[in-house]
Amino acid sequence: MQNEIEKLMRPRFEVIAPYPNCTHKVSDIIEGIHAETLAEHYRQYPHLFRELKWWEKRTEDEMPKFVKSKDGDVCKVRYWLLNGSVAYKAEDNFSIWFISDELPATEAEYKGEGKL
């Protein structure tokens, strides 16, 4: 599970403008080893590349089953809403939460394992 979270947190970039000798088209997502090794290079050109937040431009299958708030509270996600803005329905309440500062979490964090 930790590897899934690490994968979600790896840098990804969206091509937002064409550039000379460009092999990507606008709206392409650059990810994987290419994005990781050249992340600092892409960050130098914010007019060409936009660094994506961990939850942006993902499918529901790629999204985590648990999220953690900035306060450390972990909740299980019943389902994700990915139509324009990104929100999730927590399993243990009736609210729908729009994602902001949340981070992906593990089932062990949800169950409180490893806490004193």
Strands 66-68 and 74-81: antiparallel
Q: What is the mean pLDDT of the chain?
A: 89
> Domain span at residue 82?
60-111
User: Is 116 within a domain?
Assistant: no
Residue 73 tokens, joined: 């509270």
Question: For residues 65 and 53, is the Cβ–Cβ distance under 8 A?
Answer: no
Residues 37 and 6 in one domain: yes
Task: List the beta strands (DSSP E) in the chain.
Answer: 13-15, 29-30, 49-51, 66-68, 74-81, 87-90, 96-98, 103-104
pLDDT grade for 93, boundaries at 50, 70 and 90:
confident
Supply the pTM of this predicted model: 0.85
Indicate the number of domains in the chain: 2
Arithmetic mean of pLDDT, 60-87: 88
Query: Residue 106 above 50 pLDDT?
Result: yes
Residue pLDDT, tens place only, 19-36? 899 899 999 999 999 999
